[in-house]
Amino acid sequence: MRHDEQVRLIKQLCAQLDSGTTVDAGGVIRMSAMAYTDLVIAEQEWQEFFVGMPHCIGLSGDLPELGSFITNNDLGIPILATRDQDGSFKAFVNSCRHRGVIVETQERGTTRRFTCPFHAWSYDTSGALVGLPKPEHFGDVDTSCLGLLPLQAEERHGLLFVHPDPKGTIDLDFLLGEWFNDEFSTWRFDRLIPLAHDSYDVASNWKLALDTFGETYHFPVLHKNTLNNGFHGNVQCYDEDGHLHRMILCKRAIDQIRLSPEEEWDIRFAGLPVYWLFPNIILMPFEAGVYLVRTYPDRANPGRHLSRINFYVSPDIDQTNPGIKEYLDFQTQGFAGVIRDEDYVMGASQQTTANAAAIPFILFGRNEPALHHYHQTFRKMLGQEPLKYLSINE
Ligand code: FES
Ligand SMILES: [Fe+2]
C-alpha cells in the first residue's frame, strides 16, 4: 500500500478515536436468515460463485521450487497444481486418464512424476502422460492426447488462481479490479513462505464465517479477553469499489504510533488491513506476513462449511529466534484459536436459529458496512433484489 494512503488511513482511525465516531453505512439493513439455509440459494451460489469462477488456492510460496505441487478438493473437482520445470504455475484435473483414479493424493510435496496408484500411468509436472506399463498389452492409444486435463491457472501478485471448470477462463483484471491489482503489487505476497495452516469443519453457512470478519463492533464483547487487548473495537476504515472492499481494523499500538513522525507510520503496526476477495476469501497482511482465510460451502448442506486458514511469513524472519518464534506462535495459534473458539462458535449459534427460522430477519448496523457489502454483492450477482434499509417503525 502506498505510504500516502497508509497515512490517510491512520489519520482516519485517529480521528474516529478522538471524536468517538466510527464508519457509517448510512442506515440499518435487514436480511432474512434464509440466506444461510435455503437450498436453492445455496445451489445458485455453488454454481455461480464456486464452480463458475476462478479461485485463489494459495500463495506462490506454496509452490516454492520446480516440481512442487499442491492438491485441492474444495471446489467440487479434484485439482492438482504444480510448479512446472520452467517455473510456470500449472493446474490440472487430478484424475487419471486411464480410469479416473485420483493421481496425487498428498496435500503437497515435490516430484518430477505423478504416478497413478491403480496401474501406474505416470504424468510429469506439465501434465503430460509420460509412461504406462506394458503399452503393447494395453493397446494403441495416442499418449499425447491423454495428459491430465488442464485447468486455467494464473499467478499474480504472489496469489495462485485456478478455474475449477476446464472450460472456464480467468480475468484477474476484473476479479481484482484496478484497486487490488495496484495495492496487492506493493505487499510482495510472492516472497512469503508458508508457516502454518489449519482447517475447521463448522456447523455454519460459509457466509456466516465471512460475516465474522466484517466488523469490530463485537471485539469488546466476544473478544474481551483476546483481540480486544490488541485492538480498539468498533473503530475501522472501510472502502469499497464494485465487488471489492477493504477494512482497516485499529490496533491499540496506534496510540504510540501517532506520536511518531508520519514518515515512519506503517499501517500494519497501526492497524490490520482486511481485504475481501469475492466471493470467499479474506486476506490480512500483518507485520510479519499475511493471513489467508478461505470459506467453502458444503454443497449438500447450507448449514455447514469448511474454513481454511493459512499463515505465511516473510523469509527475512528468523524463525529460530525464541522470541520471534513465540511471537509467531501467538500470531498463528492465538489467532486461529480466536476464530475457532470465539467467532465460529457465534456462527454455529446463528446457524441454529437460522435453521429454526427463529426470528423474521437479522440486522446489519450502520457500523457494519462490510456486512452490507457482502450481502448486497452476493444478491446482485445472483439477480436478487437489494436489501432495504430498515425504517424506524418496522
Ligand atoms: S486408473 Fe490410473 S493407471 Fe489405471
Ligand atoms: Fe471476531
Q: How far is the CA of 125 from the centre of ligand 1 (A)?
A: 17
- Give pLDDT tens digits for 268-324: 999 999 999 999 999 999 999 999 999 999 999 999 999 999 999 999 998 889 889
Distances (CA, A) of 241 to 187, 247, 280: 19, 12, 17
In a domain, 270, yes or no: yes
Q: Is 174 in the pocket of ligand 1 (CB under 6 A)?
A: no
Residue nearest to atom 3 of ligand 1 (CA): 119
Q: Look up the CATH number of the domain holding residue 132.
A: 2.102.10.10
Ligand 1 atom closest to 119 (CA): 3
Please report the pLDDT score of residue 394 as a whole number.
62
The verdict on 59 and 84 lying in the same domain is: yes
330 has pLDDT over 90: no
State which of 112, 143, 162 marks the end of a domain: 162
Same domain (yes/no): 45, 78: no
Q: Which whole number is the average pLDDT over 134-153?
A: 96
Q: Is residue 353 domain-shared with residue 205, that is, in the same domain?
A: yes
CA of 107 to the centre of ligand 1 (A): 20
Beta strands in the chain (DSSP E): 29-31, 55-59, 68-72, 79-83, 89-93, 108-110, 113-115, 122-124, 129-131, 150-151, 153-156, 159-162, 193-202, 231-241, 244-251, 271-277, 281-286, 289-298, 301-313, 362-364
**In whole angstroms, how large is the CA radius of gyration of the chain?**
23
Sign of the four-CA dihedral 259, 263, 235, 330: negative
Q: What are the pLDDT digits (tens) for 62-121?
A: 999 999 999 999 999 999 999 999 999 999 999 999 999 999 999 999 999 999 999 999
What would the pLDDT profile of 359-370 be if each residue is shown by its tens digit? 999 999 999 999
Q: Three cell numbers at 122?
A: 505416470
| Probe target for ligand 1 pocket from 99, 137, 146, with the most ligand atoms within 8 Å of CB | 99
- Average pLDDT of span 12-29: 95
162, 184, 214 - which closes a domain: 162
The per-residue pLDDT for 331 is 84
Report the 3 state secondary structure along 167-235.
Answer: CCCCCHHHHHHHHHHHHHCCCCHHHCEEEEEEEEEECCCHHHHHHCCCCCCCHHHHCCCCHHHCEEEEE
**Which amino acid is located at 117 in the chain?**
P
Q: Are residues 215 and 112 in the same domain?
A: no
**Residue 277 is placed in which grid cell?**
476477495
Residues 156, 210 share a domain:
no
Looking at residue 341, which CATH number applies to its domain?
A: 3.90.380.10
Do residue 273 and residue 350 come from a single domain?
A: yes
Query: Does residue 185 lie within any of the structural domains?
Result: no
199 burial type by CB count under 10 A (0-12 exposed, 13-18 middle, 19+ buried): middle
- Residues 236 and 374 placed together within one structural domain of the fold: yes
Mean pLDDT in the chain?
Answer: 96
* Same domain assignment for residues 272 and 339: yes
Mean local confidence (pLDDT), 25-32: 95
Could you tell me if 7 and 85 lie in one domain?
Answer: no
Of 140, 162, 184, which residue constitutes the final position of a domain?
162
Ligand closest to Cα of 102 equals 1
Q: Is the CB of 118 under 6 A from ligand 1?
A: yes
Q: Give the DSSP letter of residue 330.
A: I
Lowest mean pLDDT of 191-195, 228-232, 300-304, 317-321, name the range. 317-321
- Please check whether residues 343 and 375 belong to one and the same domain: yes
Q: What is the pTM of this model?
A: 0.95
What pLDDT is attached to residue 163? Answer: 98
Residue 393 has pLDDT above 90, yes or no: no
- 370 closest CA partner among 268, 267, 277: 277
Distance 214 CA to ligand 2 centre (A): 8
Please indicate, yes or no, if residue 389 is contained in any of the structural domains: no
Residue 169 belongs to a domain = no
Confidence of residue 334 (pLDDT cuts 50, 70, 90): confident
Residue ranges with CB less than 5 Å from ion ligand 2? 212, 343
Host domain of residue 345: 3-52+192-381
243-263 tens-digit pLDDT: 999 999 999 999 999 999 999
* Euclidean distance between CA atoms 358 and 350, whole angstroms: 10
Total residue count of the chain as it appears in this document: 394
* CA 237/CA 245 separation, integer angstroms: 11
User: Do 31 and 74 fall into the same domain?
Assistant: no
What Cα–Cα distance (Å) separates residue 358 from each residue in 133, 203, 204, 386? 61, 17, 15, 23
Amino acid letter, 212: T
Indicate whether 392 pLDDT > 80: no
Is the C-beta atom of 116 inside 6 A of ligand 1? yes
Domain count, the chain: 2
| Whether residue 257 is found in the same domain as residue 246 | yes
Residue 391, domain member (yes or no) = no
Binning the chain into helix, strand and coil, the percentages to the nearest 5 are: 35, 30, 40
Q: Give tens-digit pLDDT for 37-66.
A: 999 999 999 999 999 999 999 999 999 999
